[in-house]
Amino acid sequence: MERFKEVAESYLGKDYEMKLNKAGDPIFVNKANTKRIRFDAKNPHGDSPYGHVETKIGKRWRDYTDQYRIYLQETPAPENFPTMKP
């Protein structure tokens, strides 16, 4: 959990807040509401639990990583596990 906090603060800033989606999964959003980290663990839509790192472009949320779904560590990740875009 400490590692996640470091990553979240690095991407979102120290003032990020946590919200919950309809399934009760966490969504971490920066203060300006332009970046977020969200999870689909309780309802992964028939897949293994995963998360997204996203940035808001205009009115739409877009993936910040090269891959749409980032699989959680406890589940098998695809061979081409995403890297952060510069």
pLDDT for 35-74, tens place per residue?
A: 999 988 887 777 788 888 999 999 999 999 887 787 776 5
What 3-state class would DSSP assign to 44? coil
pLDDT for residue 80:
56
pLDDT for residue 47:
75
Q: Structural domain boundaries of the chain? A: 2-71
Residue 63 tokens, joined:
């993936």
Decide: 35 and 42 in contact? Cβ < 8 Å. Answer: no
**H helix runs in 13-57, sequence order:** none
- pTM comes to 0.73
